[in-house]
């Protein structure tokens, strides 16, 4: 079995689109000519995806990876599979690997295409079935969404740097990015009425939804479209409200202030819009607060929403 | 003309061009097909499966004239056709306006798909032998106090493989799971 260790960096650059056309063409030709090399490229790609999902790529690689692998459906599916597999295998304990006992039920005889056969490793006995709790844990895709969010923010930072640091900008680029987003959101929500929205998301407070999470599906071609959020309230106040978006690690992302409650037939609501470009796939918590007399915010409710990529 | 409606003699000729042993030629065909899919996917082509089929169709259609005169590995010919097909698809994409009503999955459909993928993975996982499951588990999951790299080294020693061979093995097991999921979900790959 050949070891392509010395070529890992080149393969990585190839996968991230960082090679010149000539070099990339060379790699592509080699993929077609050498089966071992083609497999190596697949392995490095899979490892790259894992590193991305684990948050282990350096900033530049994360940005490039996200830009490339969220661009088209086929690449997203590859990443989706990596994420699914990662969550799945982590949900298992070593003593609880097989659901169906010792022997493979391999009706499709797929194992025959593996040249290196697995040796008979002694296994611990099956302890419990895991289907339902696994499904629950799978839904908690915390890490991948937070890394995606981090990638987005890093991407924004790079764009900000490339655009040149203008005088008067905050020294922290992430803070600058957040301020830019908040300024945009403040502008969009200033009038209280919105133009055409792509979709409307009605959210109930998290405790009333008993942990259920609303889902918003956005396709990549709708990045400038507006998503309208309607947060249900049990009672309204005349004071101004503020919503704060957090990622699934409770990192603050951005906020919108000076919102007012609206009376609707279904009860009072806080309505605001967010462009789809600020909502990359992931789980979000939305904290709703009311501005108090000292200028601070008193918590009112918390809402949860999951943003997914539309197929 | 689709690949399915291609005369069987063309396909037989294609296989014999890929190698004298029919089984090995079949494997090579599958390898080329996977390389084509990866090629189009990595090049951000809009529909890698259709473009792959298009390459296979074109080569199969012309195989009786190409095979005689072509010198070298047939894979290189597939690669050349793939480049041409990709270039054509970009041109076509520029010329074609997007349809007004692009079909999309609703939230519930996306959730169902996720659920289906998960159920498929559970079924496919059950098809691995318990030793394969354990190897994949130990290759992928850190088990404190050992770091992942250390547990991989330990595993490789236990089963008498080099680290690289273990890495390839884990990849092939994952690949099998992926292929199995695709089959169960009716995804053509």
Residue B177: Cβ within 10 Å count: 24
* CB interface of A with B, residues 202-261, below 8 Å: 215-217, 219, 221
pLDDT at A147: 66
With beta carbons under 8 A apart, name residues in chain A contacting B46.
72
Over residues B108-143, the pLDDT tens digits come to 566 777 788 889 999 999 999 999 999 999 999 887
B117 contact partners, CB below 8 Å, separation of at least 6: A80, A81, A84, B181, B185
pLDDT higher at A281 or B34: B34
DSSP category for residue A221? G
Taking 60 as the threshold, does the pLDDT of residue A116 lie above it?
A: no
What value does the CA radius of gyration of chain A take, rounded to a whole number of Å? Answer: 24
A244 contact partners, CB below 8 Å, separation of at least 6: A252, A254, A255, A286, A287, A289
Taking 60 as the threshold, does the pLDDT of residue A251 lie above it?
A: yes
Structure tokens at A14: 């190839």
Taking 70 as the threshold, does the pLDDT of residue A121 lie above it?
A: no
Beta strands in chain A (DSSP E): 197-203, 214-218, 226-232, 241-246, 252-259, 261-262, 269-275, 282-291, 297-309
Lowest mean pLDDT among A33-42, A120-129, B153-162, B174-183: A120-129
Taking 50 as the threshold, does the pLDDT of residue A277 lie above it?
A: yes
Structure tokens at B11: 């396909």
pLDDT at A127: 34
pLDDT at B2: 59
CB hemisphere CA count around A62 (13 angstroms): 23
pLDDT at B94: 59
pLDDT at A128: 34
Sign of CA dihedral A60, A65, A68, A71: negative
ipTM of the complex: 0.84
B140 contacts A89? CB cut-off 8 A: yes
pLDDT at A152: 73
Nearest to A4 by CA among A32, A23, A30, A24: A30
Give the range with max mean pLDDT: A72-86, A157-171, B153-167. B153-167
* Three-state DSSP class for residue A263: coil
Burial environment of residue A129 by CB neighbours within 10 A (0 to 12, 13 to 18, 19 or more): exposed
* Closest Cα in chain A, distance from residue B88 (Å): 18
Over residues B19-29, the pLDDT tens digits come to 889 889 999 99
pLDDT at A15: 92
- In this structure, the strands spanning A297-309 and A282-291 are antiparallel
Instruction: Find the DSSP H helices in A2-55.
Output: 8-15, 21-33, 35-54
pLDDT at A266: 82
pLDDT at A130: 38
Q: Please say whether the beta carbons of B100 and B81 come within 8 A.
A: no
pLDDT at A173: 59
Mean pLDDT of A38-48: 93
Confidence band for A233, pLDDT divided at 50, 70 and 90: confident
Over residues B52-97, the pLDDT tens digits come to 999 999 999 888 888 888 888 899 999 999 999 999 988 876 555 4
A21/B contact by beta carbon, under 8 A: no
- In this structure, the strands spanning A241-246 and A252-259 are antiparallel
Q: Please say whether the beta carbons of A198 and A276 come within 8 A.
A: yes
B104 contacts A310? CB cut-off 8 A: yes
Query: Greatest CA span in chain B, whole angstroms?
Result: 62
* CB interface of A with B, residues 135-194, below 8 Å: 135, 138
Over residues A143-194, the pLDDT tens digits come to 556 667 777 777 777 766 666 554 444 556 567 777 878 888 888 888 777 7
* Three-state DSSP class for residue A240: coil
Q: Please tell me the pTM assigned to this model.
A: 0.56
Residue A53: Cβ within 10 Å count: 19
* Closest Cα in chain A, distance from residue B133 (Å): 6
CA distance A277 to A254: 13
pLDDT at B187: 67
Q: What backbone phi and psi angles, to 5 degrees, belong to A288?
A: -105, 130
- In this structure, the strands spanning A252-259 and A197-203 are unpaired
Taking 50 as the threshold, does the pLDDT of residue A104 lie above it?
A: no
Partner residue opposite B131 with nearest CB, options A5, A107, A118: A118
A114/B contact by beta carbon, under 8 A: yes
């Amino acid at each position: 079995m050949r070891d392509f260790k010395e070529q890992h960096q080149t393969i990585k650059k190839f996968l991230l689109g960082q090679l010149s056309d000539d070099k990339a063409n060379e790699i592509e030709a080699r993929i077609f000519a050498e089966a071992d090399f083609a497999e190596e490229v697949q392995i490095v790609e899979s490892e790259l995806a894992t590193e991305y999902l684990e948050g282990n790529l350096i900033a530049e690689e994360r940005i490039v990876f996200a830009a490339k692998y969220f661009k088209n459906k086929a690449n997203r599916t590859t990443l989706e599979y990596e994420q699914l597999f990662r969550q799945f295998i982590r949900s298992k304990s070593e003593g609880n690997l097989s659901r169906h006992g010792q022997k493979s039920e391999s009706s499709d005889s797929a194992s025959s295409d593996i040249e290196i056969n697995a040796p008979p490793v002694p296994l611990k006995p099956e302890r419990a079935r895991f289907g339902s709790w696994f499904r629950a844990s799978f839904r908690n895709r915390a890490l991948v969404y937070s890394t995606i969010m981090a990638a987005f923010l890093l991407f924004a930072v790079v764009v900000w740097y490339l655009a040149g640091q203008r005088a008067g900008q905050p020294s922290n680029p992430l803070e600058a990015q957040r301020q830019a987003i908040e300024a945009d959101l403040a502008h969009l929500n200033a009038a209280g009425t919105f133009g055409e929205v792509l979709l409307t998301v009605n959210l109930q407070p998290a405790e009333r939804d008993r942990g259920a999470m609303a889902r918003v599906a956005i396709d990549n071609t709708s990045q400038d479209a507006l998503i309208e959020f309607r947060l249900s309230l049990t009672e309204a106040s005349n004071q101004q409200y503020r919503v704060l978006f957090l990622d699934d690690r409770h990192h603050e992302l951005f906020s919108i202030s000076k919102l007012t409650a609206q009376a609707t037939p279904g009860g009072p609501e806080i309505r605001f819009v967010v462009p789809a470009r600020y909502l990359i796939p992931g789980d979000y918590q939305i904290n709703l607060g009311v501005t108090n007399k000292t200028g601070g915010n008193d918590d009112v409710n918390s809402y949860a929403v999951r943003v997914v990529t539309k197929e | 003309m689709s690949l399915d409606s291609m005369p069987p003699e063309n396909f037989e000729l294609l296989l014999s061009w890929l190698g004298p042993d029919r089984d090995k030629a079949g494997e090579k065909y599958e390898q080329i097909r996977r390389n084509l899919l990866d090629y189009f996917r990595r090049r951000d082509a809009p529909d890698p499966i259709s473009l792959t089929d298009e390459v296979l169709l074109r080569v199969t259609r012309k195989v009786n004239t190409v095979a005689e005169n072509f010198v070298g590995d047939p894979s290189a010919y597939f690669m050349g056709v793939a480049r041409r097909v990709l270039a054509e698809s970009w041109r076509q994409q520029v010329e074609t306006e997007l349809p007004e009503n692009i079909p999309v999955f609703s939230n519930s459909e996306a959730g169902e798909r996720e659920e289906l993928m998960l159920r498929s993975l559970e079924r496919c996982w059950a098809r691995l032998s318990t030793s394969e499951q354990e190897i994949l588990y130990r290759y992928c999951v850190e088990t404190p106090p050992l770091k992942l790299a250390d547990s991989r080294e330990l595993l490789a020693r236990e089963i008498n493989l080099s680290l690289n061979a273990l890495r390839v093995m884990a990849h092939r097991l994952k690949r099998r799971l992926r292929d199995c999921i695709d089959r169960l979900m009716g995804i053509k790959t």
